[in-house]
Each structure stands twice: as structure tokens, then as C-alpha cells.
Amino acid sequence: MSLDVSPPHFEDRVRALLAKGDTDALHRLVRKVSTAEIEEAFEFLDTEECQLILDILDTETAAEVLGGVDEHIQEDLTDALSERKLADLVEEMDSDEAADTVRLLEDDEQERVLDLLEDETEEEVRTLLQHEEDTAGDLMMVELAAIHEQALVAEAIEMLRENADDIKRLYNVYVVDSERRLKGELPLRDMVLARPGMPLQAVMSATEAWATPGMDQEEVANLFRKYDLVSLPVIDGDDKLVGRITVDDVLDVMEEEASEDLSRLAGLGSEDSFHALGIFRLSRERLPWLILGLGGGLVSGRILQGFETSLSTVLELAFFVPVIMALAGNIGIQSSTIIVRGLATGEVKGDAPWPRIRREILVSIFNGAVIGMLTFGVVWFWLQSLPLALLISSTMMLVVLWATLTGTVIPMVFTRFGIDPAYATGPFVTTTNDIVALTIYLAIAWRFRHILV
């Protein structure tokens, strides 16, 4: 990554002008930059400053900005804006963003804003609001070009000229029958290249991939990657076209899912933690995982206390507590991350995970052997005790194997029970492994205490 050494960031210039009270210059500045710049700056400005900028912008641009910023900023802004203003902005948005924005409101405010919308918009948004969050129905917009299969290319182009003015990000025409059932699609490129007198059904391509409204957004993203799509049709149970998802939303989904995975692996709580939330909100997200770690650590301590006699007789045993815990943690995270990531990208199949699990175990046996031999050498050289070296190194091998097993199996079990397997990575696996590894270690030491002394 390169460091940004460009002229002052837009948000700094906004702040400077606000401080000077120079609203004219602010007007000029805000109108000169693209909506993408404004959206980015909103990350760094406070709600009042953002609201001021929304007021300066024309309604269409303001709607685009409000629809495009991150959810946590949207939330603050929808709280701050009047219902009238909010309804005006929602009216101008693409249907998917309109629904996402209204969804953020409290139930009664939602109703009031919906009532302020034009009838057609209101109906669209109400329909979209029925879909669950993070599904294809939540991502889709209803604005699309659907043309009858018997129309000629020239007619289709004429229809687009007349009706497509408010369809942004139009890359394909969907070809449908009289019942609006999806028959195929025609990329604009092919439409431009096709002979104008051909009927659409003769020049269209078969639709390789489609979604249903209930499909999980992660699966939607995988379809885009697998089929190299820019837009995906959404059909209902009768094959009727109900909407489409565009790739710009998928880029955001991938970013969100990646953040979510990282966030769970690192024990950060929600993926929102990456944004500029307040201190207390951030603490609240992270504390549960820290307390889990704290609890696990204290349980480990209690286990150590249980083996107090062994420890006070052979104090050397305590020296290896850190290394056994470090390895159990690292190995568990390695294996669980492999499985969780594979499940997310579809490379590990939920119904056929065994090849991947078997591979993890083989890798672990090999790594366990290497780790075991290294440990044996170091401990023998360090403490000059063959029994201790044997004990520590064989425990290490067992711990490696055990940590791999929990790391691979826990995410699979979570998946079976419909829990996001990403929760199984990070603090959860580490804590479990710490406790079990320590118990294995001390139990073996206890069993062979007569040769250690």
C-alpha cells in the first residue's frame, strides 16, 4: 500500500471552511467533488457537518450520498434528518438503497416516512422491506429492463430509449415471456452488436446463474465470482423476474463478509468494529471475547492449582505451560481458519468436507512430528532431563493433533447446527484448546510423575 501524500483531504477542507464560516466557498467546494469523495469524507465528519453538506447538495446527489455511505453513518443521519427531508431523499434513491435506508428507522418512524412517499415508491419499498437482511432480496433493486422475447433488437433499443432513463447501472436486458418468466438475457454489448431486425430470443444468451430472494448474500457473491457477472437476476418460485443485483453491491458484500470473518477470528464482535464507532460501543463489542479469554485463563489457572503437588515437586513443569498454550492456540486457529474460509468461499463443501479434514489431520501429524522433535532437542539440551524431554515432546505431539481436531471439527459442527462457523475461530477455539492442552499435559505429567522426580 502507498501512503497518501496528496493535498489536504476533502474533509479537512470542509472543516476549515466551516470554521471560517465561509458557506459560499463550501457550496462551491462540495459541488465540485464527486459523490464518491463526499461519501468517503462522511466517514471522517460528524453528523452535523454531514447534514450541512446534504442540505447544500441537490436532492438527487444528496440521495446518492446518503444511499452510498456506510450503514453506521446512515443510521446517525436518518436519526438527525426530518421525516420530510428523509422521504424526499428516499424518493430519489434506487429501490434497494431506499429500502435499506427505511429499514434503519424505528417502526413508527418507518410508517410515517413510507406514508410520505409517492404511492409507487411506497409499494416498491414495502415489498423490498419484507425480505430478510443479508439475502438476495435485501440486495436487489426492482429497476431493470425486462423485454418480451419476441421483440426485435431495434424495438428493444427504442423501448430502452423511452423508459430506461432512470435505470442506473444497466448492463443487460432480461428477456421474458408474457408471464414475465425469465427466458434469457442480452448484455448491452450483444445488443449493440446484434442485427437490429433479429428477435431477442434469437440473439439472447441463456441465463447461467440466478438467485431467489431468500438466498444468502455470501452465496450471491460466490455466484458473481464463479460466473464473472456484473448483474444477477432474482426470480421468484414461479421463475418470474422480481429484481436484479448489481456488482457494486457485491463488492460491498465481499468487503463486509471479509471484515466479518476477520472480525470474528480476531474476537472483535461485529464487523462494524472497523468503523468509527464510539468508545463504549467498541468496548462492548470486544469485552465479551476478552472475558471469555479471561474466564478460560482462570479455568486454566484452576487446573494448574489442581496439580499443585506435581508442580511444587517438579517446578520445571510450569516452564512449559506457555509453550503448550501458544502451540495449542496457533494450531487451532490455523485449522479452523482453513475450514471456515473454505466453507465461506464454497471450496469446502458442507456435504463433503472429509477430504479437507483428512488433509488437515495429515498436515498436523507431520507438523506435530517436526515440533515434537525440535522440542525434544531443546528441552533435553536445556534441562538435561531425558524424562522431561520425552514428556514435553510427546505431549506436544498430542496437543498438535488435538488442536487440529477441534479446529476442524468445531466449525463443521457449527455449520450443521446453522451457526455461522466463523464464531468457532479465534477466541473460542483458542480458549478451548488452552484448557484441553493444559489438562492433557498435566495429566500425562501426573501419570508419569514417578520417573520425573
Binding mask 9-38 for its own copies (x = CB under 8 A): x------------------------x-x--
Give CA–CA dist 277/67, Å, rounded.
Answer: 19
Residue 122 or 184: the one with the smaller Cβ distance to its own copies is 184
Q: How far is CA 29 from the centre of its chain?
A: 34
Interacting residues of 86 by C-beta distance below 8 A, sequence separation 6+: 78, 101, 105, 113
Min dist CB 7 to its own copies, Å, is: 12
Answer yes or no: are the C-beta atoms of 408 and 399 closer than 8 Å: no
Instruction: Single out the residue of 29, 274, 439, 449 in contact with its own copies (rule: CB under 8 A).
Output: 274
For residues 43-72, which are near its own copies according to CB under 8 A?
43, 68
Instruction: Single out the residue of 198, 282, 409, 440 in contact with its own copies (rule: CB under 8 A).
Output: 282
Residue 202 or 276: the one with the smaller Cβ distance to its own copies is 276
Min dist CB 149 to its own copies, Å, is: 19
Stretch that binds its own copies, among 85-93, 101-109, 232-240, 348-356 (CB under 8 A): 348-356
Stretch that binds its own copies, among 22-30, 46-54, 99-107, 268-276 (CB under 8 A): 268-276
Answer yes or no: are the C-beta atoms of 158 and 202 closer than 8 Å: no
Q: Residues of 350-389 as b/e, b for ≥16 C-beta within 10 angstroms?
A: eeebeebbeebbebbeebbeebbeebbeebbeeeebeebb
Residue 178 or 280: the one with the smaller Cβ distance to its own copies is 280
208 interacts with its own copies by CB under 8 A: yes
419 interacts with its own copies by CB under 8 A: no
Residue 23 or 312: the one with the smaller Cβ distance to its own copies is 312
Instruction: Single out the residue of 25, 154, 202, 318 in contact with its own copies (rule: CB under 8 A).
Output: 318
DSSP string of 280-296, one letter each residue: HHHHHHHHHHHHHHHHH
Give CA–CA dist 82/67, Å, rounded.
Answer: 16
Answer yes or no: are the C-beta atoms of 403 and 431 closer than 8 Å: no
Min dist CB 116 to its own copies, Å, is: 27
Rounded to the nearest 5 percent, the helix, strand and coil shares of the chain are 70, 10, 25
Nearest residue to 203 (alpha-carbon basis) of 227, 185, 177: 185
Residue 117 or 213: the one with the smaller Cβ distance to its own copies is 213
Min dist CB 428 to its own copies, Å, is: 11
Instruction: Single out the residue of 193, 373, 386, 413 in contact with its own copies (rule: CB under 8 A).
Output: 193
Min dist CB 284 to its own copies, Å, is: 10
Dihedrals φ, ψ of 361, to 5°?
-70, -40
Nearest residue to 212 (alpha-carbon basis) of 292, 276, 290, 131: 131
175 forms beta bridges with 147, 184
CB atoms within 10 A of CB 50: 25
Instruction: Single out the residue of 302, 354, 373, 413 in contact with its own copies (rule: CB under 8 A).
Output: 302
Give CA–CA dist 155/372, Å, rounded.
Answer: 74
Give the cell for residue 324: 503448550
154 interacts with its own copies by CB under 8 A: no
248 interacts with its own copies by CB under 8 A: yes
Nearest residue to 232 (alpha-carbon basis) of 249, 223, 245, 219: 245
Instruction: Single out the residue of 29, 52, 164, 409 in contact with its own copies (rule: CB under 8 A).
Output: 164
166 interacts with its own copies by CB under 8 A: no
Count of residues that bind its own copies according to CB under 8 A: 132
For residues 87-116, which are near its own copies according to CB under 8 A?
none
Residue 70 or 83: the one with the smaller Cβ distance to its own copies is 70
Instruction: Single out the residue of 25, 202, 251, 386 in contact with its own copies (rule: CB under 8 A).
Output: 251
Interacting residues of 448 by C-beta distance below 8 A, sequence separation 6+: 387, 391
Answer yes or no: are the C-beta atoms of 10 and 33 closer than 8 Å: yes
Residue 154 or 451: the one with the smaller Cβ distance to its own copies is 154
Stretch that binds its own copies, among 20-28, 84-92, 426-434, 442-450 (CB under 8 A): 426-434
Min dist CB 126 to its own copies, Å, is: 26
267 interacts with its own copies by CB under 8 A: yes
